[in-house]
Structure 1
C-alpha cells in the first residue's frame, strides 16, 4: 500500500509541473503543445500578448509567472540590458545547431546567450482581390480614398511608423526628426482612410470582406489565405519591416528546466516543420525546411525575392531615441 501511495504521489508531482508560456496569438501549434505535454508529463499554459510593449509593461509591473516568452529582437535588447533574462544552458538545448546562421547574423545575440530565434517574419499587406481589381504591391495603397473605411493599419508604433517611413524611402530605424515628421504626416493622411488601427481583428475582417486592405503579420495573413483564396498577400516594393521573434527565459522563471526542454523540442526538425506549416511563419531551422511542402516555401509571406529582401530592415532598439517615435505616435493617435 505504501508503495502505491508513493507511486501516486510521484505521479501527481510529475503532472503538477506546469510550463507557462507568454507569446503572440496563434503562435504555437496546439498539436505540438500536446506532444510536448505527453513527452514530458507536464501541463503547458499559453497566455498571449498583442504587442511587445504590452508584454514588457506587464513583466516590468511584476508579472513573474512566465517561464518562456517570445519577444521580438529589438525588445530583447531592452529586456537583456535591464537584467530580465536568464542565460541559456546550451547543454540542455542540443538542437541549437539547427538555427540558420544567416538569421543569426541579423540578430544582436549571435551566440544565443540568452535568446533563440523562433520565427523570421514580415509585416506585409493583404487585399481582397475580388474587391480590388488593380491592387499594387505598394504602401501607396493606403492613400486610396475609394477604400475609405475598408482598411486597417497595425496598432503598433514601430510597424506603422515603419511603413510610413518605408513609403518615403527612409529607414525604419531613422533617428532623423525631419524623416519622422514626414512619416507622421503620411500616417495622419492614411488615418483618414482606415477603419481603425488593429492587431487582431484584421484577420477575420479580411476573411469576411469587412476590410479590403489590411496591414498585418505575414504568418497571420498566410493562415487566412490558406482558408480563403480571395485573400492575396503583397510585399510592398518599397520594403517592409522584418521581425525576428525569439524565445527567452525570464530570470523569474520557476520552470527553467522545462523551458529549456520546450526550446529544444520546437527546434527538432520534424516538430519545427509541423509547427511552421500550422502557423504560417518561417522558422529559421535549416533541416526543418527540407521537411515542409514546396507550396509553403512558394508563399510570398514566407520567401521574399533577394532584390526586395535588400530593402527590408530588422526593427532595432533605438534607446533614448525611441521617445521621438512615441511623440509621433501620440500625434497620429490624437489627429482627427
Structure 2
C-alpha cells in the first residue's frame, strides 16, 4: 500500500542532511547523526532544524514510497536506521517479524500529548513500540456542478446518473473496507460472511464505475472527466483549493483514517537520540508547526490549540466527533489476509 501525500512528492529514494555544517562537538548528543527512514516531504524544515540545534546533531533522511518496500529492505538486512515512520498496520508487521525494539516512555514525556481518543482505537494504544505521527482519511470527492443533492455517503457510488464517471481506488483494503462500512461493519472485519457481502457490494459498484485506478482520479476530477472519485484526502484538499467546484467528504458511514507512526528498529545505533527525536515531534508547538507544513493531522491534543483557525476548522482532517468515532485505522490482518484476497479476486474478476 502506497503512502498518500498532501504535498507533491517523489517516490524515488533520496538521502540528504538538513544541516551539513552541524557542529561536531558539545551538546547533549556530541555531534551524532540520526538517520530516519520515512516518506518523502514528511518533516518540516523548522522541525528538523530545531531538533538538530537542540541536540547538536545531524539529521539524515532516507525515503521509501511504500510500506512493503521499507519492510523488504529491512528484512534484506539493511541497517543504519534509527527511526522508522511506517503506517500503523506495517508497525504490526515489523513487530511480528521482531524488527522493532520497545520504547522507553520515560525518555518520551511528550507522549502525554497524544490524543487519547485516537489511542483508544489505534493498533498500539499503549505505545509499546510506536508513537502516532500523522494521520488523514480516505474520502470521496465530487463536482458540485455535476452531482446534485449529494448525500455524504458511500452510496453515492451507486447513483445511476453518475455511471461511467466514477473511479474507485485499485486497492483491496480501501474498497472492501468502504463496502464493509457501508454495510455497517468494521472496516477491518475478519468475518468471512461480512467480507464476502462487502465483495458482493463492490461488484455492484464496479458495474457503475469507469475503473479502479490509483493515479488518474487526481487529474480526472480536476479536468471534469470524472464526477466522483475515491481518493486520499491530501491530494483532494489541494485539488479543492484550486477548483471550488470540488467538494470533499468523509462518508457518514465512516472511512479509513490511517496513521503513520514513529518507531525504533532493533538495529538502531542512536537509541537515546531516537527517543529524543520522537519526543521532539510530539511536542505541542513542534507538532502544530509540522502539521501546518505537511498538511496532515498529528493526533496530538496539546498541539490543537496552536493550529491556525483554517487548519483546525477542516471538516476532513477534524471531522465531527460522531463521524470520527466511525473511522478506523487500517489493521494488520495477519493470517486472516486470505479472506480478503479471495474476496478481492472475485471483485476484480467479476
TM-score range, shorter chain: 0.7 to 0.9
Task: Give the conservation status (yes or no) of the 8 Å contact 2:114–2:300.
Answer: yes
Residue 47 (structure 1) aligned with residue 45 (structure 2): no
Give the alignment partner of residue 169 of structure 1, picking from 184, 203, 208: 184
Match of 2:326 in 1: 311
Deviation at 1:60, TM superposition (A): 3.1
SS at match of 1:245: strand
Match of 1:104 in 2: 119
Residue 297 (structure 1) aligned with residue 312 (structure 2): yes
Question: What stretches of structure 2 of length at least 5 have no aligned partner?
Answer: 1-21
Residue 237 (structure 1) aligned with residue 261 (structure 2): no
Aligned residues: CA RMSD? 3.1
**Distance verdict in 2 for CA 1:183–1:216, change over 3 Å:** same
- Matched positions, count: 324
Give the alignment partner of residue 196 of structure 2, picking from 157, 181, 188: 181
Give the alignment partner of residue 22 of structure 1, picking from 38, 42, 66: 38
Give the alignment partner of residue 133 of structure 1, picking from 148, 151, 162: 148
TM-score by length of 1: 0.82
Deviation at 1:234, TM superposition (A): 0.9
Alignment deviations for residues 75-132 of structure 1 (CA, whole Å, 9 cap, x no partner) = 3223212211122233433322211222222224333221001134322212232443
SS at match of 2:64: strand
What is the alpha-carbon distance in structure 2 between the residues aligned to residue 120 and residue 171 of structure 1?
A: 19
What is the alpha-carbon distance in structure 1 between the residues aligned to residue 171 and residue 44 of structure 2?
A: 24
Task: Give the conservation status (yes or no) of the 8 Å contact 2:287–2:298.
Answer: yes
Task: Give the conservation status (yes or no) of the 8 Å contact 2:180–2:198.
Answer: yes
Q: Which has more helix, going by share of residues?
A: 1
**Distance verdict in 2 for CA 1:141–1:46, change over 3 Å:** farther
What is the alpha-carbon distance in structure 1 between the residues aligned to residue 187 and residue 102 of structure 2?
A: 30
**Distance verdict in 2 for CA 1:27–1:143, change over 3 Å:** farther
Deviation at 1:146, TM superposition (A): 4.4
Deviation at 1:160, TM superposition (A): 1.6
**Distance verdict in 2 for CA 1:170–1:80, change over 3 Å:** same
Question: What stretches of structure 1 of length at least 5 have no aligned partner?
Answer: 1-7
Deviation at 1:34, TM superposition (A): 4.7
